[in-house]
Amino acid sequence: MQVIRLAVLSDNYIFLLHDPQQNIAAVVDPAEAEPVLKQLTHLQAELVAIFNTHHHSDHVGGNRQLIEQFPQVVVYGGAEDKGRIPGQQVFLQQGDRVHFGDRIGEIIFVPGHTRAHIAYYFPPNTSSEPGDLFCGDTLFAGGCGRLFEGTPTQMVESLSKLRALPDNTRVWCAHEYTLKNLQFALTVDSQNTGLQRRFDEVKTYRSRGEATVPSLLGVEKDTNPFLRWEQPSLQSAAKSSDPVQTFARIRGMKDKF
């Protein structure tokens, strides 16, 4: 499975999954249809699936046009998003599976950003390969999504599920927010040398116009404050020893950053 990253809108990413053997494709969170259709034409591939993580328009905005062009496409989304995702046919819950080419994706229910958010995790076929996590707006490189429909407790539980995945997992998050996320992270975790190095690297990448997505989950565990609510340095910044309260207070700081 090849993953093709398409930059759209001001800072969104669409991910096109391509199986070159069968020459079929699936798309994750198509904010717009045209870039997807252009890439499909280039590949001469058939679109067989739309994998939506949640209902926000910058993740499902291209659904209807893609369905018009590929009437047989199957549209997936979270069970609790029923009626909110255009064209949704399959309603997924924690533990369900989806198939694409020779890969099987596991569904992880991750409410918090929205009440129905799901993530798609494709374990590697061999131990030497990375897994692939398509997590929408739940986990970002260096950050996490705002809590629009969920609670801090839900988000901590959701992020805990993602944090439990193998370190060698590519995190395909849906926005290029990394530089600002790390700028904030340094305000609450300033002594983290790994975070300092990562910030310098990301500044260089962005100065060249290069993407910072995907990141690796192992890097996130070491440098992302929203996966580190148990660390004394973060609890000190939040003035709380309670993990959920630590997360909630740091999320509140980020909302005002």
How far lies 94's CA from each of 49, 105, 139, 158, 239, in Å?
19, 12, 17, 11, 34
pLDDT in tens, 49-100: 999 999 999 999 999 999 999 999 999 999 999 999 999 999 999 999 999 9
CA distance 228 to 208: 30
56 in a known ligand binding site: yes
How far lies 250's CA from each of 184, 198, 222, 242, in Å?
10, 20, 16, 12
54 in a known ligand binding site: yes
175 in a known ligand binding site: yes
Residues identified as active-site:
54, 56, 58-59, 113, 137, 175
Token reading at 41? 């034409």
**Cβ-based burial of 65 (10 A; exposed 0-12, middle 13-18, buried ≥19):** middle
What does pLDDT average to over the chain?
Answer: 97
Domains defined for the chain, CATH in brackets: 2-255 (3.60.15.10)
CA nearest to 49, candidates 72, 32, 80, 31: 72
pLDDT for 64: 98
pLDDT for 174: 96
pLDDT band for position 125 (50/70/90)? confident
pLDDT-wise least confident of 27-36, 121-130, 221-230, 244-253: 121-130
pLDDT for 126: 87
Mean local confidence (pLDDT), 200-211:
97
Q: Is the predicted pLDDT of residue 213 greater than 90, yes or no?
A: yes
> Is the CA virtual torsion 19, 141, 30, 206 positive or negative?
negative
pLDDT for 107: 98
CA nearest to 143, candidates 106, 115, 109, 171: 171
pLDDT in tens, 138-186: 999 999 999 999 999 999 999 999 999 999 999 999 999 999 999 999 9
pLDDT for 127: 83
CA distance 204 to 210: 9
**Cβ-based burial of 219 (10 A; exposed 0-12, middle 13-18, buried ≥19):** middle
137 in a known ligand binding site: yes
> Is the CA virtual torsion 256, 204, 169, 227 positive or negative?
negative
CA distance 247 to 4: 33
Mean local confidence (pLDDT), 4-12:
97
pLDDT band for position 128 (50/70/90)? confident
Cα 244 vs. chain centroid, distance in angstroms? 21
> Is the CA virtual torsion 150, 151, 153, 159 positive or negative?
positive
**Alpha helices, DSSP H, located in the chain:** 34-43, 57-60, 63-69, 152-163, 178-188, 193-207, 217-223, 232-238, 243-255
Query: Model's pTM, two decimal places?
Result: 0.97
CA distance 52 to 184: 28
113 in a known ligand binding site: yes
How far lies 50's CA from each of 47, 117, 134, in Å?
8, 15, 13
pLDDT for 144: 98
99 in a known ligand binding site: no
